[in-house]
Amino acid sequence: MISDHPTTSVLLVEDDRNMCYLLQDNLFSNGYKVETCHDGKEGFRRFRETHFDLCILDIMLPRMDGFQLAAKIRLINETVPIIFLTSRSMEADKLLGFKTGCDDYITKPFSLMELNYRIQAVLKRSPKHADQNGTYNFRLGIFEFDSRSRVLKSTGGPEKKLTPKESKLLKLLCEKKNELVTRSFILNHIWGDDDYFIARSMDVYLTRIRNLLKPDQSLEIINVYGTGYQLLEK
């Protein structure tokens, strides 16, 4: 089968090595780029670190089941299509209540042909936010910011090297420049979790970013009480 998708990247989370390997091989030979892992937590960590066009999640997984994983994925990406691998005993109810428009599920045992068909269908429906993670460079007031090398350069000034967390936070704010970003959105995207202490940690980073941006008076990160933040470029 010849590929018609330049490099669609797939996150495959499957506990059973046997099955995992079979699927990986099938996907690979269909031209997809595949990353596999074998438990939910690792799956989520991967998802946060990289960009994927499709997730295939087993339901029964160690450390965090497929539903929980999908829920966490949905918190940070509303659109990426997810295909669940279920066992026959799974009640369709639970699944139907869960999956969104772009998702699908397939009951084990299934044929590879069937899976491939569903993948194609699900990708066709998916809006392909192509540029989702494609932008790494931002122009921001007097600054230029490269989120990959984590360098914030002020035109005609010195450049500063940011830490990974600083960089992610600034990137997120840049992506949503002049938009309101909720606290929980930031927390789930960058920290992958949202509790009291992590929120305090975020406060610290907000302060740092504000300090970094101080040289340019036209930039401001304003707080919307009880809701979130907004990076304004005046």
Residues of this chain that interact with its own copies (CB under 8 A) are: 17-19, 21-22, 24-25, 28-29, 36, 45, 49-50, 74, 78-79, 99-102, 127, 146, 148-150, 163-165, 179-180, 220, 222-225, 227, 230, 232, 234
> Considering the rule CB under 7 A, would residue 205 count as an interface residue with DNA?
yes
- Residue 191: which of its own copies, DNA, none does it interact with, CB under 5 to 8 A by kind? DNA
H or E element that contains 58: strand 54-58
Q: Which of 154, 152, 173 is nearest to 228 (CA)?
A: 173
H or E element that contains 144: strand 143-146
Q: Which of 126, 29, 42, 19 is nearest to 11 (CA)?
A: 42
d(CA 170, CA 147): 8
- Closest separation between CB of residue 41 and DNA, Å? 12
Cβ proximity to DNA: between 22 and 224 the closer is 224
Binding residue for DNA, selected from 140, 183, 212, 231, defined by CB under 7 A: 183
- Residue 25: which of its own copies, DNA, none does it interact with, CB under 5 to 8 A by kind? its own copies
Q: Is-contact 123 54, C-beta < 8 A?
A: yes
- Residue 78: which of its own copies, DNA, none does it interact with, CB under 5 to 8 A by kind? its own copies
Binding residue for DNA, selected from 144, 201, 215, 216, defined by CB under 7 A: 201
Cβ proximity to its own copies: between 199 and 221 the closer is 221
Which residues 6+ apart lie within 8 Å of 150 measured at CB? 161, 162, 163, 164, 166, 167
Place of tokens 């539903």: 67
- Closest separation between CB of residue 70 and its own copies, Å? 11
Q: Name residue 213's amino acid.
A: L
d(CA 36, CA 84): 15
- Residue 49: which of its own copies, DNA, none does it interact with, CB under 5 to 8 A by kind? its own copies
> Considering the rule CB under 7 A, would residue 72 count as an interface residue with DNA?
no
SS3 state of residue 105? strand
Burial of residue 156 (CB within 10 Å: 0-12, 13-18, 19+) is: exposed
Binding residue for DNA, selected from 18, 96, 158, 197, defined by CB under 7 A: 197
- Residue 21: which of its own copies, DNA, none does it interact with, CB under 5 to 8 A by kind? its own copies
Question: Site residues (CB under 7 A) for DNA?
Answer: 161, 163-166, 183, 191, 197-201, 203-207, 210-211, 223, 225-229
